[in-house]
Structure 1
Amino acid sequence: MTFNGLKYQNHQLAVPLVWDDPSDSRTIEIFARVVTAQGGEDLPYLVFLQGGPGYEASRPSLKPTQPSWFAVALQRYQVVMLDQRGTGRSTPVGNELLSLPVEEAAEYCSHLRADAIVRDCEAVREHLGATKWSVLGQSFGGFTLLHYLSKFAGSLHRAYFTGGLSAVGHHCDDIYTLTHEKMATRSEEFYRLFPGDRDRMAKASE
């Protein structure tokens, strides 16, 4: 499909719910939309890993430009907008999952993590016939990209981070301790402006 000078190609792949377990026959659908500017059919691929987790990829356009980096990216790449497993037009997490027993729902959700998303990316890359591609990771997508680099660096030409880059040389406990202290400080600043909300928040957390 062509719209406003852009070519859109939709791809739907069936992949294992549980990678590397041949005894588990469950599958899910993965959806990816490739967007190409006019004359850009020979450009390399850039796959976008959305933040969240739990959000599908945005539906891109140039009028208006959405997302903000999209127009520049199209000058250098064919852009792959991937709906990560469990979101969007990939097999979504919905009411059916919520109706399952807690243990079954938790087991299913355990297969929606970054490691599985990376394997899905590899399946899409191979489906598109790309030897390598570049990845743009936003927030949670950046953490997913870190896993990608640790497992399949040979599949990546370039890795772009816009948030989601782990601290180097610090334990996660140190990071969350500082985060808690910062949140406590900011919360007190908020309550000084809106003192009535302190009781509301206390009741909401009971």
Structure 2
Amino acid sequence: MRTTEHYFTVPLDHFSSAEDPGAETITVFAREYVSAEHTETAAKQLPWLVYLQGGPGGRGNRFMSLGGWSKAAAKDFRILMLDQRGTGLSSPADRNTLPLRGGAEAQARYLEHFRADSIVADAELIRRALGSEPWTIYGQSYGGFIALTYLSFAPEGLREVLITGGLAPLEGTAERVYRETFKRVAARNAEYFGWYPEDRETVDRIVRHLRTIEEFLPGGERLTVERFQMVGSFLGGNTRVDGLHNLLEDAFVDTPRGPRLSDTFLEQVRPHVSRATNPLYALMHESIYAQGPATDWAAWRVLREFPEFSPDAPQILLTGEMIYPWYFDQDNALRPLKEVAELLAAKMDWKPLYDPAQLAANIVPAAAAVYTNDIYVERGLSLATAAAVRNLQAWETADFHHDGIADDGEAIFGRLLGMVRSVRN
């Protein structure tokens, strides 16, 4: 493959100050990937496909080579991989850089411009800068949420839309989402421990151990019961779920002080319980469901309805993607941002992310894979959204989980592209 790096200057606020030449700007980075099968001259004639990464707060994928969905896409497209604003090589937003804005209130106001509506406005500015006709977008997970915002407010920039595991609810509260999510995650726990009953015993042993003996992650942070529960992120995978068993199998080692959690285990746990690489995920996660009223730590409040997920439960369940206030007490990467997170959780006037009337009249061909057992984007809510978007075809499958494109991305991409092309033709 060949790659080209692009840096774009975009307004921080596309909506209030876009015409002001003195308005603040930020940088958005994108990397172009082209298959070496195309000559440089031929590649310039290929249409663009923009990949919208999951998240929020995840930088664009870094490919070592083209494979899976990217190999399939590169046959017919130039792929543009965005580092969505605040991530990767775009102007960063984290505990080190945000204090440059000033105090917590100024930092929170800054982050209000880091949601899907601003990402779409970035993409449209970039499309025009590249001289592209309406282009194809492919949204995975949160990228699918962004795709729906794109269809709502800038459909003129789109040729066709592909979505995997990312049909967001168009209305309703964050609490509604998390009630369904907790149910799905509970069912997935039961399924997993049915496969690996010995892991139920290991999890219980780790919890008992952490309640009585302090263990510390590499870097010095304490591993608490509630942080350990975060390894439930494995449960969202189709084949990745088995990685949880591999993680747990060598949890303990005998020492002169008695059984302790092994260095191998603690090192493997660390990336699953830290937001050091994607702090925006914790800061902005609930806001992706916010249209109007404050989210007010919705997952934390809904947790009380599901006591089996409490870290004090007699036999705990592992959690999924939920964000809780204590993250900002226990994670060194988040601790300086606690007040900012509180302000964002209390914000009462979030702008709409979708235009239901526009989506009901949509003319852009779109196709979406809905995973029946997805623990992150609930299928019932996804199918309701699919029914509300004109010209969107939904393909429901139980063959994959949320990370389906990591398992058979080439086939999934090909199927979705065929669906939108059948409409176009």
Given the two structures, how large is their TM-score scaled by the length of structure 1? Answer: 0.83
1:130-173 deviations in Å (ceiling 9; x for gaps): 12100000111110010001111121111010111124798764
Question: Considering only CA atoms, is the larger Rg found in Structure 1 or Structure 2?
Answer: 2
| 2:7 is aligned with 1:9 | no
Residue in structure 2 matched with residue 3 of structure 1 by the alignment: none
Aligned-residue sequence identity (percent) comes to 35
Distance 1:169 1:29, change over 3 A: closer
Residue in structure 2 matched with residue 134 of structure 1 by the alignment: 136
* Counterpart residue identity of residue 77, structure 1: F
SS at match of 1:118: helix
Correspondent of 2:160 among 154, 158, 161: 158
Given the two structures, how large is their TM-score scaled by the length of structure 2? Answer: 0.42
Q: How many Å apart are 1:8 and its aligned residue? A: 1.8
Between the aligned partners of 1:169 and 1:144, the Cα distance in structure 2 is 15
Residue in structure 1 matched with residue 30 of structure 2 by the alignment: 32
| 2:52 is aligned with 1:52 | no
Distance 1:133 1:59, change over 3 A: same
How many aligned residue pairs are there? 198
Distance 1:168 1:56, change over 3 A: closer
Structure 1: 5+ residue runs without aligned partners? 1-5
1:35-93 deviations in Å (ceiling 9; x for gaps): 2222332110000111111111112232xx45x21111000100001110001111011
Residue in structure 1 matched with residue 92 of structure 2 by the alignment: 92
SS at match of 1:177: helix
**Where in structure 2 are the equivalents of 1:1-206 lying within 5 Å?**
6-22=1-17, 25-37=23-35, 38-39=38-39, 40-62=43-65, 65-66=66-67, 68-94=68-94, 95-98=96-99, 100-167=102-169, 173-184=175-186, 194-196=203-205, 197=207, 199=211, 200-201=225-226, 202=311
Structure 2: 5+ residue runs without aligned partners? 194-198, 212-224, 227-310, 313-325, 330-425
* Counterpart residue identity of residue 36, structure 1: V
Between the aligned partners of 1:183 and 1:124, the Cα distance in structure 2 is 38
RMSD: 2.8
More helix by share: 2
